[in-house]
Structure 1
């Protein structure tokens, strides 16, 4: 459809990794395996958090939200990537591109806020343990999780609505998904309003939560160093080590992608960072949280033992959980 000054595109072409046809099959296999592991790991964390009464605590409430976000985030872009890696026509309709952009932005933005909320939770648990059950009661935790979701969803709606109103002079997106920065490169003219929206949202969702996380961990570290016994310090730090690792992985990738200088030859690097940011981090989150977490391991053992008994009662082949 031809307008007076620009074309309204109904279909976009996702260039992805089409410049490297031999690499596409390898990327397909790697991405598929990582996506399946992401779904399995995060679904398991959600399941055990709901079923095991010992894990119905503030930390696991937030972790369940984090796992659900990771499932939604990867599901917004990875299935399209997998299809396009095997297809000669790497296209996506306008409405599909809009939904993909919104879901990716909303889940990513919500996770930024939620990681700051989880840092505050660890701060209260370590620095004010006696009042922890009062401060972090269930109502407060639900409200904090809700604020994270509302903030992420509203800022994503703002960015997506402004981005898709800009006239585009092409429909070839040099990315494997409708990533907002890649889509905005198709704009016929620069938009000061869009630039301001992106700047404000980026500051709101990246440096500010990161600052809150740093302040929380400064107090946490100060408290841990005042603990007299080495065993006490180790135990206190172990309660926040997994969260700190996830923060470094997530914000490291996000900051490098959204707050770096714009260079003409940086798009290929952006694609690689986006792939790591969108697949690797969600896959590692449940692994990091369960690797050294005895409560999670015990809950998974309990779940597997229950499934073992159920299969045995039905006369079906079962499995052993002895070495888990």
Structure 2
């Protein structure tokens, strides 16, 4: 493929460099990880949605994180899996599909910050103002926080990519496993000064807002715990905040490693690997950490998989099968 084809709608993804020996192990690992991400995150959302006892702001806000993980991985991992099985010369992608992939990729990364920021606000209100929690964190407030998180992300990413769309392209090779904004504007031979300035401002403002809000809320939570002599309050704060903080640190560390490796072109293969891990690690660990730490979710799952309940379900199913033999297989 010509390296200087102006405004071509067909682009080439360099993708992961895999050999015949490691191609199928990598494929199987990514496939099973992707299936786990879908099952775990969709399962948590369905559980929270159907179980009325879990209709609490903390769980409803966490649903945003699960939806974000499913969205971010569903447009990325299947494409990476398909590219692993074909030679590098056949890893072609349409320009508009590439734009959509870049949009979802940046939505995923930015939305992870905004969602965790509104979850931090929820934890702050619950611990520092427990008597007013129900009055503050109403259904309307949860909806407003959710719309704000997604809306701010959408606007920021839309402006980011609109600055890239205006550029003329003179290259067609994307040296990444998937499309993102830096890969797209690097295809241009135009002046990308504005893109670099906005991209840098975008990243700095997002990180300062995200880290600043976490430091502020957790400082106030720590002060509330230190001044309070209530063991139940401190225990509740430790359980809920440790889960949220763990999710935040996983997301932040994954992103910072990827941003750092972008500054070292000689480590391109490590950057490719980290760019995929940035998506699949939080998506895999978030439902595990939240599900294991959450007392309500653990209780529901223990009841769901209780041998007595399973036995009752089997006996009930057998009775139904006896009454409706043509429609049921015990």
TM-score scaled to structure 2, two decimals? 0.87
User: How far is 1:226 from its partner?
Assistant: 2.8
Task: Note if contact 1:6-1:167 (Cα within 8 Å) is conserved in structure 2.
Answer: no
Task: Report the equivalent of 1:122.
Answer: 123
- The corresponding residue for 1:70 is 69
Q: Distance in 2 between matches of 1:289 and 1:128?
A: 23
Structure 2: how far apart are the matches of 1:62 and 1:206?
Answer: 20
Partners of 2:103 and 2:180 within 8 A in 1: no
Q: Are the aligned partners of 2:128 and 2:224 in contact in 1 as well (CA < 8 Å)?
A: yes
- How far does the alpha carbon of each residue in 1:245-295 deviate from its partner, in whole angstroms, 9 at most, with x for none? 010010112233236672231322221221111111111100010112221
The one-character-per-residue Cα deviations of 1:58-78 (angstroms, maximum 9, x if unpaired) are: 111111111111100101111
CA displacement, residues 210-232 of structure 1 (integer Å, 9 cap, x when unaligned): 21111111111222223336565
**Cα deviation 1:173-194 (Å, max 9, x = unaligned):** 1111102223333332441111
Where structure 1 has 5 or more consecutive residues not aligned to the other structure, the ranges are 319-324
Q: How far does the alpha carbon of each residue in 1:24-47 deviate from its partner, in whole angstroms, 9 at most, with x for none?
A: 322211111111110011011101
- Aligned partners of 2:191, 2:258: CA distance in 1, in Å? 20
Determine helix, strand or coil for the equivalent of 1:13: strand
Which position in structure 1 is the counterpart of 2:83?
84
In the TM superposition, what are the counterparts of 1:238-277 in structure 2 within 5 Å? 238-258=239-259, 262-277=263-278
Q: Map of 1:1-324 to 2, 5 A cutoff?
A: 7-18=6-17, 20-88=19-87, 89-228=90-229, 232-258=233-259, 262-302=263-303, 312-313=316-317, 315=321
| Alpha-carbon contact 1:46-1:64 (below 8 Å) kept | yes
Is residue 224–residue 237 contact of structure 1 (8 Å, CA) maintained in 2?
no
Cα 1:79–1:260, aligned 2, differ >3 Å: closer, same or farther?
Answer: closer
CA 1:276–1:237 in 2, change beyond 3 Å: closer, same or farther? same
How far apart are the structure 2 equivalents of 1:232 and 1:148? 28
- Farther off after superposition, 27-36 or 248-257: 248-257
> What is the CA deviation profile of residues 113-158 of structure 1, one whole-angstrom value per residue up to 9, with x for unaligned ones?
1111101110111111111111111101100110111111111111
Q: 1:107 touches 1:153 (CA, 8 Å); kept in 2?
A: no
Q: Give me the whole-angstrom Cα distance separating, in 2, the residues matched to 1:244 and 1:122.
A: 11
Rate the CA distance shift 1:26–1:184 in 2: closer, same or farther, 3 A: farther
Confirm or deny: 8 A CA contact 2:18 2:84 kept in the other structure.
no
SS where residue 24 of structure 2 aligns? helix
> Are 1:15 and 1:176, in contact at CA under 8 Å, matched by a contact in 2?
yes
Q: In 2 relative to 1, CA 266–184 (structure 1 residues): closer, same or farther, beyond 3 Å? A: farther
Change (3 A) 1:259 1:317: farther
Q: Against the structure 1 CA distance between its residues 28 and 260, is the aligned structure 2 distance closer, same or farther, given a 3 Å change threshold? A: closer
RMSD: 2.4
What displacement does 1:20 show?
4.3
Number of matched residues?
Answer: 315
Q: TM-score, normalised by structure 1?
A: 0.89
Offset at 1:104? 1.4
